[in-house]
Structure 1
Amino acid sequence: MFEEELDDSSVLDVLDKQIVHGLVTDARIPFARLGAILGVSEQTVARRYRSLRSRGMIHVAGQVNTVPLGQPRWVMRITSTPAKAVALAESLARLPELSWVSLLTSGFEIMCAGRTRSIERRDELLLRMIPRASSVVGLTVHEVMRQFPFPEEWPRYDRFFTAEQLRELGPRPPMWEPAGPETQVTLSREDEAMMAILARDGRAPYARLAAATGWSATRVARRMSELVEYGVLYFDLDFALQLMGYTCRAVLWMRVDPARLEEVGKAISEHSEVAYLAAITGPTNLTASLVCRDNAHLYRYVTERLGALPGIRDIEVATALRVFKQSQTLVDAQKLAVLP
């Protein structure tokens, strides 16, 4: 029943969905290789991708995971004065360290995720800049203790592939549990230049990255692979959710029995509605971001799926009145707009 709820979009056809899943699995997969897997030409894949991007449907971005850099991720809940909530959210969306900026229905509350490269910048944001804003009347910061991996990344289009095609695509690199290295990673000036371009275009050609760094294209490719292996660099896709037929986005804050937190987290990670799931510090210890067709779908999910899980003591549900920013893209009239 719930899989069917997320399977009736008329905006993307099967080939579009296959291309999207190929990019979710490997954001920089050569179009020739993806076309060979799908049984279509390289030109067809490239044309479909350009169309999806030009319509503001998807955006591929290189992201920095600050955990291997020694800085945790966190989630903020900011309460604003009603008259200034939109202006505050728009300002927060312009900060490169913040993502997933949304105005929620829970009393003019803005939720956003944050990651900073240094303690100094973290303190500047959390202790000075945001608290001192005249429109801020409340601030709660939750540190992310564990981001739960999914058996299949959202929007979970595995079903449009054969088993052989999935084997050819290979697994997606796990950003949330990086494998190496034991020592803290230090980024060079060239690394920063490369990742600044990738943040705007995750599929930027190696030649363009080489020109920005002064390295050869071969060295750029090798360094990019190293940073992905270290867990510092990962690639993510933003989607124009409403254009895809998903009219309801919601955030859940849950109190779960500590002894069952891992069990509950793993169970919820299997749910197709869940786009993000993390164990956090604070008065609630588990948060989830949901993508649903409509409020009726959200209600069935909360009552039937979450309600059946033992160990959840309490759930707070807040829907998004408006989404201002996803990972690296602003949302403009329901379409994605890349930050300058």
Structure 2
Amino acid sequence: MDSENADESAVLDTLDKQIIHGLVTDARIPFARLGGILGVSEQTVARRYRSLRRRGMIHVAGQMNTVPLGRTRWILRIRTAPNRAVALAEALARLPDVSWVSLLANGFEVTCVCRPRSAERQEELLLRMIPRAGQVLELTVHEVMRQFPFAEEWPRYSDLLTAAQLRELGPRPPMWEPRGPEKSVELSRADEVMLAILGRDGRASYAQIAAATGWSASRVARRMSELVESGVLYFDLDFALERMGYVTRAWIWMRMRPGDLETVGRAVATHPEVAYVAATTGTANLMAAVVCNDTAHLYRYVTDSLGALPEINDVQVLSALRMFKQSQTLLDDRKVGVVP
């Protein structure tokens, strides 16, 4: 049986990657079930998972999709003075409804994703708080019209499992379309408590959530399933990308004819380097976040993969000089850290 020291000696071995794929597919999968699929014990899976968290390699979080609540998602491009960019990015990263905060390599643009929970919060963020910040020189706001789904979520380790293991694991729940469910979703105070706990730890136990909400464990499980089914709640993983060997990240903005947008968006979603791709409003109508091993890899991706799509008329590549926050976790240069 592998030892705790063996877990610490390698960045990610095959079993680590298989466990990560299981968590990407089902973030709350019982360790006993995942161990049975992978042919190891429940204790081995639990130990490996604890090691991955302790080393800052992964963070499992429950995320809120605000679209079923009647809200939209925005991508913000903020131009600032170079000597004030870090302070602005750090301030944005501390906001709970702002994610994917990065300082781009041109040194004076901060990009982030904004998911306000209410119309009042949206107005506060987009019309008052951010535009009036002393560091902001120019603000460009792009609405996300459609997020294109992946056949397999990044980092795409499915080839490390057998066909039988993949069938037993099952597919990842489908991504909700931007229109959301037909019936609006109302959140209670207890729902908010549960969502806050899951944001800190997506694998928090039903008993832990029950103690905080006053519900029974069975009611917690039932309500969690309802929110997942409605599209309000989904589970995601953040990764310490540099420690996994991916040192180059970039935001790529593309333009094409409106009639080609769906075709190109679906094509880009099949590229292994792409972690996120969405159709947006604004002068560029498609945006992709890519993860590459190095700058040479990024160059090959732009020239070979994007270059093979003749429908793309224009490409702007902006490398991320530094990431300050992923979907739910604040970052330093070495690991992911849970937002307090």
Q: Which residue of 2 aligns with 1:167?
A: 167
Give, in angstroms, the shift of residue 177 of structure 1.
2.4
What is the DSSP-based 3-state SS (H/G/I as helix, E as strand, rest coil) of the residue aligned with 2:242?
coil
Measure, in 2, the Cα distance between the counterparts of 1:14 and 1:262.
36
Q: Which residue of 1 aligns with 2:103?
A: 103
Q: Which residue of 2 aligns with 1:35?
A: 35
Counterparts in 2 of 1:202-241, with a 5 A limit?
A: 202-241=202-241
Contact 2:67 2:178 survives alignment (8 Å): no
Contact 1:11 1:245 survives alignment (8 Å): no
Counterparts in 2 of 1:1-340, with a 5 A limit?
A: 11-177=11-177, 181-340=181-340
Give, in angstroms, the shift of residue 325 of structure 1.
0.4
Distance 1:159 1:29, change over 3 A: same
What is the DSSP-based 3-state SS (H/G/I as helix, E as strand, rest coil) of the residue aligned with 2:251?
strand
Give, in angstroms, the shift of residue 174 of structure 1.
2.0
Q: Deviations over 1:61-113 (max 9, x none)?
A: 00000000000111000111111100110010000000000000234100100
Measure, in 2, the Cα distance between the counterparts of 1:176 and 1:185.
14
Give the letter for the 1:285 counterpart.
Answer: N
Give, in angstroms, the shift of residue 178 of structure 1.
7.5
What is the DSSP-based 3-state SS (H/G/I as helix, E as strand, rest coil) of the residue aligned with 1:222?
helix
Give the letter for the 2:259 counterpart.
Answer: A
Give me the TM-score of the superposition, normalised by structure 2. Answer: 0.96
What is the DSSP-based 3-state SS (H/G/I as helix, E as strand, rest coil) of the residue aligned with 1:183?
coil
Measure, in 1, the Cα distance between the counterparts of 2:336 and 2:319.
20
Give, in angstroms, the shift of residue 203 of structure 1.
0.2
Give the letter for the 1:155 counterpart.
Answer: P
What is the DSSP-based 3-state SS (H/G/I as helix, E as strand, rest coil) of the residue aligned with 2:202?
coil
Give the letter for the 2:140 counterpart.
Answer: T
What is the DSSP-based 3-state SS (H/G/I as helix, E as strand, rest coil) of the residue aligned with 2:140?
strand
What is the DSSP-based 3-state SS (H/G/I as helix, E as strand, rest coil) of the residue aligned with 1:225?
helix
Measure, in 1, the Cα distance between the counterparts of 2:78 and 2:179.
33
Measure, in 2, the Cα distance between the counterparts of 1:238 and 1:287.
20
What is the DSSP-based 3-state SS (H/G/I as helix, E as strand, rest coil) of the residue aligned with 1:243?
helix
Measure, in 2, the Cα distance between the counterparts of 1:134 and 1:14.
48
Q: Which residue of 1 aligns with 2:6?
A: none
Measure, in 2, the Cα distance between the counterparts of 1:168 and 1:12.
23
Contact 2:67 2:179 survives alignment (8 Å): no
Give the letter for the 1:121 counterpart.
Answer: R
Measure, in 1, the Cα distance between the counterparts of 2:298 and 2:121.
37
Q: Deviations over 1:19-77 (max 9, x none)?
A: 00000000000000000000000000000000000111000000000000000111000
Give, in angstroms, the shift of residue 182 of structure 1.
1.2
Measure, in 1, the Cα distance between the counterparts of 2:181 and 2:130.
33
Segments of structure 1 that go 5 or more residues without pairing to the other structure are: 1-9
Give, in angstroms, the shift of residue 180 of structure 1.
6.7
Q: Which residue of 2 aligns with 1:6?
A: none
Distance 1:178 1:222, change over 3 A: farther
Q: Deviations over 1:89-140 (max 9, x none)?
A: 0010000000000000234100100111101000000100001111100101
What is the DSSP-based 3-state SS (H/G/I as helix, E as strand, rest coil) of the residue aligned with 1:291?
strand
What is the DSSP-based 3-state SS (H/G/I as helix, E as strand, rest coil) of the residue aligned with 1:198?
helix
Q: Deviations over 1:128-162 (max 9, x none)?
A: 00011111001011000000000100000110111
Measure, in 2, the Cα distance between the counterparts of 1:166 and 1:95.
38
Measure, in 1, the Cα distance between the counterparts of 2:112 and 2:20.
25
Segments of structure 2 that go 5 or more residues without pairing to the other structure are: 1-9
Give, in angstroms, the shift of residue 339 of structure 1.
1.1
Measure, in 1, the Cα distance between the counterparts of 2:229 and 2:151.
20
Measure, in 1, the Cα distance between the counterparts of 2:63 and 2:297.
31
Contact 2:147 2:178 survives alignment (8 Å): no
Measure, in 2, the Cα distance between the counterparts of 1:274 and 1:251.
10
Give, in angstroms, the shift of residue 257 of structure 1.
1.4
Give, in angstroms, the shift of residue 279 of structure 1.
0.3
RMSD of aligned alpha carbons: 1.1
Give the letter for the 2:197 counterpart.
Answer: I
Q: Which moved more, 1:155-164 or 1:166-175?
A: 166-175
Measure, in 2, the Cα distance between the counterparts of 1:309 and 1:178.
25
Number of equivalences: 331
Contact 2:102 2:321 survives alignment (8 Å): yes
Give me the TM-score of the superposition, normalised by structure 1. Answer: 0.96
Q: Which moved more, 1:167-176 or 1:272-281?
A: 167-176
Give the letter for the 1:291 counterpart.
Answer: V
Measure, in 2, the Cα distance between the counterparts of 1:50 and 1:133.
40
Contact 1:178 1:229 survives alignment (8 Å): no
Identical-pair percentage: 73
